[in-house]
Structure 1
């Protein structure tokens, strides 16, 4: 009787320890699903969410500019400058080998062959395109101008599957787009407190978004700007698991060994 009691007691203690060890690293499913209140949100509220606004050009941005004319050789003079430092272009960019174009200097200006210097800082890409088209009309016949950011970059760090800096081909990018590029959050990502760091005219701005709530669509940080940084914090389960992983492993092993020794000794 005593032998069976001791055996059952030993197994119960080991089982209890294992349950405690495993539960300390469990993640509540209530904190995983995105937009949990979406079914209860008034549709009119979603329709009035903050609309996308075009980002403005800032110093140190790199612009991809192409001028097309009736005479292709005429436009080539401007277009070649984007890949020729001697003509005012940029080819040595540490961000991406594909980020060639015209660097916006500290005065917010770019310099185009034949057209000259133009102040583009503070303008959207559409406004800058129209400005270049207006100046190019004085030199070329019926010019067609294409302009976009060549280094529209956002960085995604922390508890995501593929943290990295991503150079994007377009300007309309939401936080969901960026997280998708990073392979979504890991199971340990803190979804209710995602940090965004934004550089606005040399000043840092900070915002925290809750991916569990539909209120994210009303945030001015829902659509990203160039050079935004997204940081996903680890939740308590990840921190606890990291700090106690070795202790849990040793404890479980000791418990199992204790049960085996106890069982052997009781059956002798």
Structure 2
């Protein structure tokens, strides 16, 4: 009776260990769905969410500038620009791309043919466009200026289906847009703790957003700035999956120990 009881106890402990190991690799459905509290949120609260603010131009940005005048030849001369390499992928997820544009130097200036250097750092693209239009108006009648970022880049890392650096044609980009480009989070992504790293005038800023909560719309980090980095942390299920070999080894060792204990008890 004592030997059988001892054997059953070891078997029970082993089964308990297996159940715990399997449990640790399960992902709770409660942590997968986005904006779970959206039905409980007052509509007025959503309407008061932080509005989009235009990003400002910084040193090392690359600007696409096109100036159109009544004289096609003069427009060609003004729009001369060197091919400037920009790090990162594009919306097609290529490893690298070549962007044509004007590089903002360390003094915050770009240099346009016939016009000279213009300081644009600290301005929005709209303000820079108006400034260039005023400068060009001194030489040409009613010029049309088009200006946008040529290297508006965000990086998405961690537990997403397609991690990469993405160069975007649009300045108004939210964290949801960036995650969509990256193929959304994997089942192992920690949705309640997404990290954003932002470079603000040489200083690093950090924020953590909870995709399960509608409070994300009230965050100043909901809309991204150029060169933002998004990192999706793996959850415990991913850690367990990565350690599957260790769990399997531990299970085998536990089985061997159980057999040895049982064998020793039989010979007593």
* TM-score interval, smaller chain: 0.7 to 0.9
Contact 1:93–1:100 (Cα < 8 Å) also in 2: no
Contact 2:86–2:151 (Cα < 8 Å) also in 1: no
Q: What residue is the counterpart of 2:247 in the other structure?
A: 248
Q: What residue is the counterpart of 1:165 in the other structure?
A: 165
Q: CA offsets per residue over residues 25-56 of structure 1, 9 Å max, x none?
A: 11111111111100000000000100000000
Task: Quote how far apart the aligned CAs of 1:252 are.
Answer: 5.8
SS in 2 for 1:107: coil
Contact 1:132–1:145 (Cα < 8 Å) also in 2: yes
Q: What residue is the counterpart of 1:34 in the other structure?
A: 34
Q: Within 1, Cα distance between the matches of 2:109 and 2:74?
A: 23
Contact 1:108–1:119 (Cα < 8 Å) also in 2: yes
Q: Within 2, Cα distance between the matches of 1:247 and 1:220?
A: 42
When the two structures are superposed, what TM-score results if normalisation uses the length of structure 1?
0.84
Q: CA offsets per residue over residues 102-161 of structure 1, 9 Å max, x none?
A: 000011000100111101000000000011111111112221111000000000111111
When the two structures are superposed, what TM-score results if normalisation uses the length of structure 2?
0.84
Task: Quote how far apart the aligned CAs of 1:16 are.
Answer: 4.6
Contact 2:100–2:150 (Cα < 8 Å) also in 1: yes
Task: Quote how far apart the aligned CAs of 1:69 are.
Answer: 1.1
Choose which of 84, 95, 102 in structure 2 pairs with 1:91: 84
Counterpart mapping for 1:47-196 below 5 A: 47-79=47-79, 81-83=80-82, 90-95=83-88, 96-196=96-196
Give the number of the structure whose residues are more often strand, by fraction. 2
Contact 2:24–2:236 (Cα < 8 Å) also in 1: no
Structural RMSD (CA): 2.7
Q: CA offsets per residue over residues 144-185 of structure 1, 9 Å max, x none?
A: 111000000000111111111000001000000001111111
Gaps of 5+ in 1: 84-89, 259-268
Q: What residue is the counterpart of 2:263 in the other structure?
A: none
How many residue pairs are counted as aligned between the two chains? Answer: 253
Q: What residue is the counterpart of 2:91 in the other structure?
A: none
Q: What residue is the counterpart of 2:203 in the other structure?
A: 203
Q: What residue is the counterpart of 2:93 in the other structure?
A: none
Q: Within 2, Cα distance between the matches of 1:199 and 1:254?
A: 49
- Tell me whether 216-225 or 244-253 shows the greater mean CA deviation: 244-253
Q: What residue is the counterpart of 2:230 in the other structure?
A: 230
Gaps of 5+ in 2: 89-95, 258-268
Q: Name the CA shift for 1:77/1:184 in 2 (closer, same or farther; >3 Å).
A: same
SS in 2 for 1:91: strand
Contact 2:190–2:233 (Cα < 8 Å) also in 1: yes
Counterpart mapping for 1:215-226 below 5 A: 215-226=215-226
Q: CA offsets per residue over residues 194-227 of structure 1, 9 Å max, x none?
A: 1111111111111111111000000000000000
